[in-house]
Amino acid sequence: MSIEDEQEIRERLGLLGTVEVSPPPYLTAVSRGKSVRLRRRAFVAAGVAAAVVLGVLVPRLAWHVGQAGPVTPRYDVTVHQPGPGSPPGQVAWGTINGKRWQIRVVAQQGLSNGCTIIGQDLECVPGGIGASPRQVNFTSAMSGDTQFQLAAVGTDVTRVAVTLGNGAELWLRPTILDGERWVAFAAPTRLAVSRAVSFGGVRELGYAIPYNGASGAQFVDWLHPGQRGAARAAYRIGSGTLGGASWSSWAYAGPWGVCVAGVGGAGWCAPTTAAIRPSGVVTSYVTCSPGTQGVWFAAVAQSAVATVRFSLSDGGSLRVRAVGIAGGDKAYAFAVANGVRLVSWTALDAAGKQVGTGPGWKCG
Amino acid sequence: MDAAEDAEFSDFMHGRWAQVVRLGYGLTGDLQIAEDLAQTAFARAYASWPRVRRAADPDAYVRKIVVNANLNRFRKRRVIEHLTGTVPEVAQPGDPAGRHEDRAALMAALLRLPYGQRAVVVLRYWLDMTEAEVAAVMGCSVGNVKSQASRALAKLRNSAALMDGGAR
């Protein structure tokens, strides 16, 4: 008997279903899975520790990550639009040093938004991501050495030019899926993204200079053509020791807005600190990160606030200095050991006069 | 992971284990290696279970690991496949359909295909995946899947192993 057609090979391959298989080694797989997870966490922890050390010893060096970046000619990045036969929902595909990636927008049952990374493939359920006619609204994800960038673009936007730190320029044209317009690209995490410019036909609509942090580029604020962005500056907004390990948090201001890094494993970006602080609120936290030793908080405060005193559940108190950053508002970061709760906060001005008070915060 | 996620993973693994092992067997012709590959795939799936369970197709995730882990096995250990007319599987008594001989012939023919073609054949024609799904698992284009499938079928049509071993 020989194989004459596809149906025949299907029938012959049915023999694979007759292979007798031993019962699944569930406990072994779980044990190996836990080991894999531990190794990944150790790798991430080592990366965070290295970042903290770099941030403490050579803050200016860390700061330079936000700059346009040195020439890194070893990265060869390409991006293409989907073609005939492309998988459904594909926004873009390309290669990084010959290794193929793709970014898709998909609908997943039971998931309203979020992204899933499988190998070099990013699948996103966009949820409420949208864009006004002239807007480019990026969201990012990182897997290992690769950063994935997906953006909803408005109806006026016909292309987006992205310049990478090695001088390479990627031209992104919108892919229309179910009436929504998308652009996407992927790049090595270690390769800074210098800028993105949006065009409507031949007319420039706006540009953005992203913050390049440990998890890749963050497009926060878009500027009008010719508009000068804020000057770059770095501020140490908190430092200390927790569980015997020292830590420090930094705020980086620049044309992207403000980004805070080193808050445990968390970070945060906004066009301005005031943009995230509810109107009239003296101080509020913007991100927090629970760890094995304790919980880190980063917060913003009105410009009048000089220090914030926290009453703790163990009877003690914590006094934190608010650091003025670009734009007039202030920011600060602190950590509390596990098991200790923030009972209340009291904000004080430079003269020690109470500016405001409120209940303590809980992470998550 | 909490108890509910553990239970969910347990159901997933028990439900898919046999098929994933058989996929590994189709790719390698060796049941022991197939079980190793399957175990690796499920261990990695467990390590990323909160993310995998949210994926549109968790099965695709596991299959992709099996296909790639086998490829990595070649790259890392410089495994050399010995092409033989028979596979180390002995016909058992009480096998009225001559199933083992047929299977041995099938595997001999599959093992003569280059790895990419073999993977396409098994994924496309045994697991009945679409060309796009196969392309996604293998990390190549749909056109590449089509050409690999076409070449593989052409070779299988002229396979002496299938003609001889599969004659009933």
Residue B166 pLDDT greater than 80, yes or no: no
Residue B35 pLDDT greater than 60, yes or no: yes
Each residue of A161-212: pLDDT tens digit? 999 988 889 999 999 998 899 999 999 988 889 999 999 998 999 999 999 9
**What's phi and psi for B110, nearest 5 deg?**
-65, -40
Which whole number is the average pLDDT over B44-55?
Answer: 85
Each residue of B115-153: pLDDT tens digit? 889 999 999 988 888 898 898 888 889 999 999 999 998
**What's phi and psi for A55, nearest 5 deg?**
-65, -35
ipTM of this complex: 0.77
Residue A292: the pLDDT is: 81
Residues B109 and B156: beta-carbon distance below 8 Å: yes
Per the CB < 8 Å rule, is A19 touching B21? yes
CA A135/CA A151 separation, integer angstroms: 10
Residue B168 pLDDT greater than 80, yes or no: no
User: A–B: how many Cβ contacts below 8 A?
Assistant: 143
Residue A276: the pLDDT is: 65
Give the pair of three-digit tokens for residue A322: 């608010």
Residue B83 pLDDT level (bands cut at 50, 70, 90):
very low
Residue B29 pLDDT greater than 70, yes or no: yes
Residues A177 and A89: beta-carbon distance below 8 Å: yes
Better-predicted residue by pLDDT, A342 or B93? A342
Which whole number is the average pLDDT over B14-20?
Answer: 88
Residues A329 and A300: beta-carbon distance below 8 Å: yes
Q: Could you tell me which residues come within 8 angstroms of residue A258 by beta carbon, excluding any fewer than 6 positions away?
A: A220, A251, A252, A269, A270, A271, A272, A273, A325, A326, A327, A331
Distances (CA, A) of B67 to A10, A130, A266: 19, 36, 35
Residue B89 pLDDT greater than 50, yes or no: no
Each residue of A243-273: pLDDT tens digit? 888 888 888 888 988 888 877 767 788 887 7
Residue A65: the pLDDT is: 46
Mean pLDDT by 10 residues, chain A (364 residues): 68 82 81 81 66 53 45 75 90 92 80 75 79 88 88 94 90 92 93 92 92 87 89 88 85 88 78 70 87 87 93 93 84 91 94 94 83
Residue B165: the pLDDT is: 47
Partner B, chain A 68-97, Cβ-Cβ below 8 Å: 85-88
Identify the bridge partners of residue A208 per DSSP, sorted by sequence position.
A196
For B135, which residue in chain A has the nearest alpha carbon?
Answer: A87
Q: What is the overall mean pLDDT for chain B?
A: 77
Give the pair of three-digit tokens for residue A217: 């580029």
Which whole number is the average pLDDT over B147-161?
Answer: 84
Give the pair of three-digit tokens for residue A225: 């053509």
CA angle A127, A285, A229 (to 5 degrees): 75
Among A214, A180, A184, CA closest to A196: A184
Residue A50: the pLDDT is: 63
| Site of tokens 């990944």 | A40
Residue B91: the pLDDT is: 39
> From the list B43, B135, B157, which residue is nearest A3 (CB)?
B157
Beta strand A317-321 with A323-324 is: unpaired
pTM, 2 dp: 0.54
Q: Is B117 on the interface with A (CB under 8 A)?
A: no
Strand, coil or helix: A245 = strand
Query: Measured between beta carbons, which residues in chain A are less than 8 angstroms from residue B162?
Result: 1-3, 12
